[in-house]
Amino acid sequence: MSYPLLLTGSILLFALYIWGMYNRLVVLKNRIDEAWSGIKVQLTRRADLIPNLVNTVKGYAKHEKQVFEDVTKARSQLMSAGSVSEVQKAQSGMTAALKSLFAVAEAYPQLRASENFQQLQKELSDTEDKIAYSRQFYNSNVLSYNSQLQQFPTTVLAGMFHFTSKDYFQMDEKKEEPVAVSFE
Amino acid sequence: MNVYSEIAGNKTKTYVALAIFFLLASSVLYVLGKAMGMAGPGLFLFAFLISMGVNVVSYYYSDKIVLKLHNAKEADREQYFDLYTVTENLAIAAGIPKPRVYIIQESAPNAFATGRDYKHSIVVVTTGLLELLDRRELEGVIAHELSHIKNYDMLLMTVVSIVVGLIVYATDFFMRAQWFRNSDDDNRQGALWVVLALIMAIIAPLAATLLQLAISRKREFLADASGAYITRNPEGLASALEKLSLSSVPTMSSATNATAHLFFENPFGSDKGSKKSWLVNMFSTHPPLAERIAKLRTM
């Protein structure tokens, strides 16, 4: 085989290698975006349950205005949050507000006994599970993207094309406990 | 041993088993071919086509066939809230579309998953299982089933049983062909191959079946480990298996040999209770419960 042919061949192979590496990064990055929209779906689901919940509690505990305001405020903050860190913050606020709402509900046995309230509690704790699992899926995608990004030789290419590592979606550990649910 | 090394270990063991398996298959065909002379290749192709046909059909329609066989009904969200939502949630965690969920009216606690790809996958559980387990334990079982789907175990086991079928049919054809042998065209070397082929024809189908079962058991361990990775809670499945080992209704009335490997736990209950010998284990589709529980508890 002649020398120029060999040279062209190896340049071609190298270009193919770079091409593959670049596309791999794009795929991994898009998976993170997809996982992120998965989290948003679950957060919206939770937000949709809130007005219903507030109305049910209101029916039995009209004068607990402060709690309702907190929850409604937390909900609108969560709805308007865009970036990962914003959502993270709004999410903790929401969990705290819901916690105090359920603490209030504890004082009203009739409310706790109502079928509607129990159903909402069940839905809500299931949604908490869904949020937790979609967060886990998101983080595992971030893990594989970041590991790919930081490995040699991808890290060189990533620097050239301005790929940057992504943040994990974290939750405030103290506030992460599931909403207290009791079915007495 | 942690989850990662457990997953990697079981994958490697599957590859090793597969390699031995294809080595066995090709040496059987080689020896039979030598013994049969010209008639060999045509017959092997015939054996391959039969085996392929049978297995591809059962793979392609696995969901429909199994549902019919066990008379399963689709679970609705209201009535089976925990089952439905647990499956939904774990599908989110595993990053696969939610499989359809079915119920079998059956007091023996068991579950299985099948289907040719993510879109056609189904998870089936018995009412006995739902009565026995709480939500966290159910999560463990469903995560195990979703792992089978995610690891493409249906496809793997289909490929394996195509090769087993090939060996079984080829050796069977060979044995039948011996009746019509013309003793005139024998020479000394040919006779040696025939003797060798006869020995192989007796041993190979059994060996292939044992290897198939070994692969199946490795995939069970793998599904346990990847299930634990999905839920981040190996104790859920461990405690579910423990309850199963203590349950008093051991056997499934509607299980057949054809569907046994699908189940989350051996549907015939052969490894219930006391420790069984290695010989019994060798012929099981599933590893012993005690061993699975012990492995999960170390993760």
Residue A172 belongs to domain with CATH number: 1.20.1440.20
How does strand B122-126 pair with strand B73-74? Answer: unpaired
Mean pLDDT of A114-135: 89
Is residue B145 part of the annotated active site? The answer reads yes
Nearest-angstrom CA–CA distance, B291 and B10: 14
Domain that residue A8 falls in: 3-176
Answer whether B93 sits within 8 Å of A38, measured CB to CB.
Answer: no
pLDDT at A175: 46
The highest-confidence range among B25-34, B142-151, B277-286, by mean pLDDT, is: B142-151
Name the catalytic one among B6, B106, B139, B145: B145
Residue A95 maps to a domain: yes
Quote the number of domains for chain A.
1
> Which pLDDT band, with edges at 50, 70 and 90, does A179 fall under?
low
Which position has the higher pLDDT, B263 or B94? Answer: B94
Highest mean pLDDT among B98-102, B198-202, B207-211: B98-102
Q: What is the pLDDT of residue B147?
A: 92
Query: Distance from A175 to chain B by nearest Cα, in Å?
Result: 19
Quick one: which of B281, B151, B171, B214 has its CA closest to B21? B214
CB contact under 8 A, A38 and B92: yes
Q: How many CB atoms lie within 10 A of CB A157?
A: 16
DSSP string, B99-153: PEEEEE--SS--EEEE-SSGGG-EEEEEHHHHHH--HHHHHHHHHHHHHHHHTTH
Question: Would you call A35 and B95 a contact, using CB atoms and an 8 Å cutoff?
Answer: yes
Is residue A162, in this structure, part of any structural domain at all?
Answer: yes
Separation between Cα atoms, residue B213 and residue B219, nearest integer Å = 10
pLDDT at B212 over 80: yes
Give pLDDT, residue A3.
86
Looking at residue B295, its pLDDT comes to 87
Share of chain B above pLDDT 90, in %: 17
Q: Is residue A91 part of a domain?
A: yes
Interface residue of B86, B92, B146, B229 to substitute, partner A, most A CBs within 10 Å: B92
Q: Half-sphere exposure (CA, 13 Å, Cβ side) for A164?
A: 3
pLDDT above 90 (res B284): no
pLDDT of residue B246: 81
pLDDT in tens, B66-89: 888 888 889 989 899 999 999 999
Taking alpha carbons only, the member of B110, B118, B119, B211 closest to residue B167 is B211
* Residue A184 counted as domain residue: no
What does the mean pLDDT of chain B come to?
82
pLDDT for the residue numbered B250: 56
The answer as to whether A159 is a domain residue is yes
Locate B23 and state its tokens.
Answer: 């080595």
Which whole-number Å values give the CA distances from B234 to A49, B45, B82, B111, B152, in the listed order? Answer: 31, 46, 19, 18, 21
Q: Is residue A176 predicted with pLDDT exceeding 50?
A: no
Beta partners for B104?
B126
Q: Which residues of A touch B94 (CB under 8 A)?
A: 137
Is residue A134 a part of any domain in this protein?
yes
| Structure tokens given for B50 | 């039969």
**A154 in a structural domain:** yes
Q: What is the mean pLDDT of residues A17-44?
A: 90
* B100, β-bridge pairs: B122
Selecting from B81, B85, B93 the residue whose C-beta is nearest the C-beta of A137 gives: B93
Q: State how far the Cα of B48 lies from the Cα of A39, in Å rounded to an integer.
A: 48
Q: How far apart are CA B248 and CA B273, in angstroms?
A: 10
Out of A122, A133, A141, the one facing B89 most closely (by C-beta) is A133
**H/E run at residue B11:** helix B3-36
Q: Give the residue with greater pLDDT, B179 vs A11.
A: A11
List, as ranges, residues 81-120 from B with C-beta within 8 Å of A. 81, 85, 88-90, 92-95
What's the gap in Å between the CA of B85 and the closest CA on chain A? 7
Predicted confidence band at B182 (pLDDT cuts at 50, 70, 90)? low
Does the N-terminal peptide bond of residue B99 adopt cis geometry, omega within 30 degrees of 0? no
Number of domains in chain B: 1
Task: Give the structural domain span for B36.
Answer: 1-299
Give me the amino acid identity at A94.
M
- Cβ separation A38–B81 shorter than 8 A: no
Which residues 6+ apart lie within 8 Å of A126 measured at CB?
B81, B85, B89
Q: What is the pLDDT of residues A34-60, one digit of tens each?
A: 999 988 888 888 888 888 888 888 888
Q: In angstroms, rounded to a whole number, what is the distance separating the alpha carbons of residues B264 and B253?
A: 16
pLDDT band at residue B274 under the 50/70/90 scheme:
very low
Q: Which residue of chain B is at minimal alpha-carbon distance from A124?
A: B85
The average confidence (pLDDT) of chain A is 85
Q: Which of A42, A126, A137 sits opposite B95 (nearest CB)?
A: A137
Q: Which residues lie closer than 8 Å to B10 by C-beta, 6 or more apart? A: B218, B219, B221, B222, B225
